[in-house]
Amino acid sequence: MSAVDKREKERLRALEAYEILDTPADKDFDDLTTLAAYICSTPISFISLLTDDRQWFKSKIGIDIAETPRSSSFCQYALLQEEMIVANDTLEDDRFQNNPFVTGPPHIRFYASSQLISSGGHKVGTLCVMDIVPKQLTEEQKEALKILARQAVTNLELRLKQKQLQVEKQQLRVANEKLDEFVHMVSHDLKEPIMNINSVADWLQEDIVAGDYSSISENLALIKERAAAMENLVQGLLQYAVVRVKDMPKEEVNVKSLVQGLLDENKAYPKMTAHLSPDLPVLTTERVLLQQVFANLISNAFKYHHTGTGNIWVDVEEADQQYTFCVKDDGPGIPPQHHAKIFDLFERLLRDSTKAQGSGIGLATVKKIVEDKGGRIWVKSALGEGSTFFFTWPK
Ligand code: ADP
């Protein structure tokens, strides 16, 4: 691509970024064209934005059309020079004498324009004045046209900032709602084990008064068990709360070794057999996060297995932009009506066939990591058919 083409491409991108094309009329811009027409004493004034094939008028006075082809626009010439264009008599200017708006109605004879230059230095359009008789502008009028053109750019940029602020405000509102929900759920789920421990402590007091030592020991064991469950919950919550993809360093990760390491950690399930695909890649990514995703999926496959004697498969498919990993098991399976729910915070399914008691944070953390990373996660499963968790991981 030539330097000129590249510059033009960047110019078009700068224009698009304003998200202004084909928007309704706006008083902030109409005020500027009105003022330009007053100051230069012309019947026609407009703000023209130049795309690759047309000029579109954001504001116009004295003309009725919404746009013209770029090839018949006066303003195309403004892109080719730094200083403003003033054509005192279009019939004496090579660039304009054959223009259809000069040779035909409304028979333009005078044209002056000042470029709209974006903060990145791109000429995105012009502020123009026109007349049907030849004309001269004073230095003050020319200067005023330049000032109004700068004001038009300020309007464009303010308008964009305002739009961005609206989007951010909406994002903040959603984040706040999520936070409220989170606090509500956390306080409920943290209160429950504390209340449990409290009531066991009451029983202990009664045991001590009654001198019932076997019950004391049983109840102490219960307290320890519940405290451990609570520690688990707090640990999970902390992990869920702190994961942020953008803060993590990237490094080379051998996925096969990573998964093998995680399988080795699950020694409590000696009757489970793991099958790793030979295609598991070596990639450069945030190791801690990928590890957290696999750790949760693999430990779920183990701990929710209904017989404890089964298989787990870890596989991958590679595409141009991403990997799709899957962790499959031949466990009890998950009914389709629960597929969306299990990725929510604190959602766990009660089932008689498995004694595993989780906090319901694992898959919510996994989903948060995968989506933060720009990927997607989903499950394919039905009761009695095992479960396959898929997630994509952008390269
Ligand atoms: P936890 O952190 O408590 O393990 P998760 O959020 O990881 O909870 O999982 C939510 C629920 O999804 C679990 O309570 C379990 O019922 C179900 N589940 C997750 N993985 C599997 C699986 N491989 N097989 C069967 N059920 C599963």
| 104-128 residue pLDDT tens | 999 999 999 999 999 999 999 999 9
Q: How far is the CA of 343 from the centre of ligand 1 (A)?
A: 9
Q: Which amino acid residue places its CA nearest to atom 3 of ligand 1?
A: 358
DSSP string, 174-198: HHHHHHHHHHHHHHHHHHHHHHHHH
Q: How far is the CA of 300 from the centre of ligand 1 (A)?
A: 6
352 pLDDT band, cuts 50/70/90, is very low
Atom of ligand 1 nearest to the CA of 389: 23
The one-letter amino acid at 376 = R
Q: How far is the CA of 333 from the centre of ligand 1 (A)?
A: 10
Tell me, what's the pLDDT at 245?
67
C-alpha–C-alpha distance, residues 205 and 117, integer Å? 80
The one-letter amino acid at 322 = Q
In the predicted model, what is the mean pLDDT of residues 352-357? Answer: 52
| 208-263 residue pLDDT tens | 999 888 899 998 998 888 888 788 778 777 777 776 767 778 899 999 999 998 99
In the predicted model, what is the mean pLDDT of residues 340-354? Answer: 72
Residue for token pair 């094309």: 21
C-alpha–C-alpha distance, residues 316 and 278, integer Å? 9
Describe the crossing of helices 362-372 and 213-242 by its angle, rounded to 10 degrees: 10
Tell me, what's the pLDDT at 174?
82
- 73 with 96: CB under 8 angstroms? no
Helix (H) or strand (E) holding 211: none
Q: Which amino acid residue places its CA nearest to atom 20 of ligand 1?
A: 300
Q: How far is the CA of 331 from the centre of ligand 1 (A)?
A: 11
Tell me, what's the pLDDT at 361?
83
* The token pair that represents 142 in the structure block: 């020319």
Distances (CA, A) of 205 to 200, 211, 219: 9, 10, 10
Distances (CA, A) of 391 to 163, 276, 279, 324: 33, 16, 16, 6
Report the length, in residues, of the chain.
395
Q: How far is the CA of 342 from the centre of ligand 1 (A)?
A: 7
Tell me, what's the pLDDT at 229?
75
Tell me, what's the pLDDT at 351?
55
| 42-88 residue pLDDT tens | 999 999 999 999 999 999 999 999 999 999 999 999 999 999 999 99
Helix (H) or strand (E) holding 60: strand 54-61
C-alpha–C-alpha distance, residues 336 and 341, integer Å? 10
C-alpha–C-alpha distance, residues 302 and 297, integer Å? 9
Atom of ligand 1 nearest to the CA of 350: 16
- Ligand 1 pocket (Cβ < 6 Å) reads 296, 300-301, 304, 329, 331-332, 334, 342, 347-349, 358-364, 387
Tell me, what's the pLDDT at 353?
45
How, if at all, do strands 251-254 and 110-117 pair? unpaired
Neighbour count for residue 181 (Cβ, 10 Å) = 12
| 4-38 residue pLDDT tens | 889 999 999 999 999 999 999 999 999 999 999 99
- 258 with 290: CB under 8 angstroms? yes
Q: How far is the CA of 68 from the centre of ligand 1 (A)?
A: 61
Choosing from 189, 294, 363 the residue with most ligand 1 atoms within 8 A of its CB, the one to mutate for a pocket test is 363
| 143-183 residue pLDDT tens | 999 999 999 999 999 999 999 999 999 988 987 887 777 77
| 268-323 residue pLDDT tens | 787 899 999 999 999 999 988 899 899 999 999 999 999 989 999 999 999 999 99
Tell me, what's the pLDDT at 177?
83
Portion of the chain with pLDDT greater than 90, in percent: 70
350 pLDDT band, cuts 50/70/90, is low
* The token pair that represents 219 in the structure block: 């109840």
- 332 with 308: CB under 8 angstroms? no
C-alpha–C-alpha distance, residues 102 and 94, integer Å? 12
Q: How far is the CA of 183 from the centre of ligand 1 (A)?
A: 22
